[in-house]
Amino acid sequence: MKTQHISQIARKPLLSFAPVETAPRGDVLVLVFLRGAADVLNMVVPHGEDEYYKLRPALSIPRPDDSKSKKEERTVDLDGFFGLHPILSPLLPIWQEGHLGLVHACGAHDDSHSHFKAQELMERGVDNEGGSASGWLGRHLATLNTGNPSPMRAIALGELPQRSLYGSVPVSSLRSIEDFKLRGNETAVLQMQAALGALYSGKDPLSGLGRETLRILDTLEKIAPSSDERVYPDSSFGRGLREIASIIKAEVGLEVAAIDLDGWDTHFAQGVQTGLMPRLMNDLAEGLAAFHEEMLDHADRLTLVVMTEFGRRAYENASLGTDHGHGGMMMLIGGNLNTRGVFGQWPGLKPHQLYGPGDLAVTTDYRDILGEICAKRLNNPALDNIFPDYAVKMQNLFL
């Protein structure tokens, strides 16, 4: 097996020597990473598949027409075969608008079952530990010149940039817009800004960049705390999405934003209608719904992707949880989808259809989706560089 991997390794082009394409900015890309491997079978439920109910006697989500369970606990049907976990029903309006695409059995071919390795490889956009250590988004940013000098071209919500953004300087990482502010008592902050204005008044390029930074600082300061009715969940994810929305609306040159939602490693008592995983799903769905509603006017230049490193075992374990699996699922939200739908070839859950120790198989490589987004929505044709040694197969999900 080792040799097979190695034969796939070819020369990885060095980021620094990669040709840079020039193109106008495309959509703003918001990348949501569900860390810990989300149990996608309980999110986009294959209720038309009998095997699902056999494999999960305790953890399955009731069929949409299951009269033995409460209506609000049943799967919300989407297309007669797949449906959403009821807690994800805040996403229904997005589905109804045609702005939601779900790619099932989507993921990477790595079968290490290791969070660390799978996340690393996926964020680097590679198949094995060899090759460039930079991230796919970092390579996207480095190979596309959009003529955008903004320090907010790429932002990472959190303490440090996500691995996918590595290899691109600068990426601003912030927990919130507050992180793009100067701190201290009011007088000190005002004095500091005044001093910066005086110090950065020259004609040299650095002074120009300083004034651009001051302008963004000023713009962000004027963003009134969102006082409208849309309620983001009171969580770091909800607050992060709200910050991203504000930054997009402030028009400060944002092209890429990355944000994480942690905690999906549900080996033990993951919960069906309440508990660990439903809380996370609620955070996710409420956050995405609020974001989508707030950004409706911007939907035609916005693409949001939700991904996870892999899915979980098709059968439940003895602790009312699920173990590490293989195939995952990607959610796509935006006004530039060709059509709504649950996409991807469904591999099935019968014993001979499962992969490895009993996992959902992968039928769509995650790079087919991300590659299509880079090419069609971000105007970057350099897919060979963004995903070295992988030939992206367009799925024609996007305009």
Token pair belonging to 322: 């699920």
Say whether residue 202 binds other proteins (CB under 8 A).
yes
Helix (H, G, I), strand (E, B) or coil at 8: helix
Binder to other proteins among 98, 197, 275, 351 (CB under 8 A)?
197
Options 166, 264, 315, 346; binder of other proteins; rule CB under 8 A: 166
Distance CA(290)–CA(312), nearest Å, equals 28
Q: Which stretch binds other proteins (CB under 8 A): 48-56, 146-154, 327-335, 345-353?
A: 146-154
Q: Does 194 bind other proteins (CB under 8 A)?
A: yes
344: left (phi over 0), alpha (psi -120 to 50) or beta: left
**Cα angle: 342, vertex 346, 350; to 5 degrees:** 140
Q: What angle do CA 384, 386, 389 make, to 5 degrees?
A: 45
Nearer to other proteins, 211 or 279 (CB): 211
b (16+ CB within 10 A) / e for 201-219? eeeeeeeeebebbeebbee
Which DSSP state fits 108? -
89, 112, 172, 317: which one binds other proteins (CB under 8 A): 172
- How open is the CA angle 393-5-344, to the nearest 5 degrees? 30
- Counting contacts by CB under 8 A, is residue 212 touching other proteins? yes
Interacting residues with other proteins between 43 and 62 (CB under 8 A): none
| Distance in Å, CB of 309 to other proteins, minimum | 13
With beta carbons less than 8 A apart as the criterion, state whether 343 and 368 touch.
no
Q: Which stretch, 111-119, 232-240, 243-251, 285-293, contacts other proteins (CB under 8 A)?
A: 111-119
Query: Which of 347, 395, 384 is closest to 51 using CA atoms?
Result: 347
Q: Does 163 bind other proteins (CB under 8 A)?
A: yes
Stretch of 88-96, 200-208, 299-307, 361-369 contacting other proteins, by CB under 8 A: 200-208
Asked whether 250 and 226 are in contact (CB, 8 A), the reply is no
Rule CB under 8 A: is residue 129 a binding residue for other proteins? yes
Site string for other proteins, 214-253 (x = CB under 8 A): ---x------------------------------------
- Residues numbered 258 to 297 that lie near other proteins (CB under 8 A) are none
Q: Is 185 in the site for other proteins (CB under 8 A)?
A: yes
Identity of the residue, 75 or 164, whose beta carbon is nearer to other proteins in the bound complex? 164
Which residues neighbour 180 within 8 Å (Cβ) at sequence distance 6 or greater?
Answer: 152, 172, 174, 216, 217, 220
Tally of CB atoms within 10 A around 283: 20
- Residue from the set 27, 110, 120, 255 that interacts with other proteins by CB under 8 A: 120
Interface with other proteins (CB under 8 A), residue from 1, 57, 65, 183? 183
- Candidates 52-60, 206-214, 236-244, 338-346 — which segment interacts with other proteins by CB under 8 A? 206-214
**Contact residue for other proteins among 161, 325, 328, 335 (CB under 8 A):** 161
* Contact call for residue 193 and other proteins (CB under 8 A): yes
Our CB check for other proteins shows the closer of 196 and 276 to be 196
In angstroms, the CA 82 to CA 346 distance is 10
Return the residue of 1, 58, 169, 224 that touches other proteins, per CB under 8 A.
169
CB of 14 to other proteins, least distance (A): 6
Stretch that binds other proteins, among 3-11, 86-94, 334-342, 365-373 (CB under 8 A): 3-11
Longest CA–CA span in the chain (Å) reads 74
Task: Write the CA distances from 348 to 110, 273, 342, 358, integer angstroms.
Answer: 20, 24, 14, 11
Strands in the chain per DSSP E: 21-22, 28-35, 44-45, 76-77, 83-84, 100-107, 144-145, 154-157, 172-174, 256-262, 302-308, 328-334, 341-343, 364-365
Q: Of 221, 332, 320, which is closest to residue 276 (Cα–Cα)?
A: 320
| Part of the chain binding other proteins (CB under 8 A), chosen from 12-20, 24-32, 48-56, 266-274 | 12-20
Q: How many residues bind other proteins (CB under 8 A)?
A: 70
User: Where along the sequence are the contacts to other proteins (CB under 8 A)?
Assistant: 2-3, 5-7, 9, 11-12, 14-17, 114-116, 120, 129-135, 138, 149-151, 159-161, 163, 166-167, 169-174, 180, 182-188, 190-207, 209-210, 212-213, 217
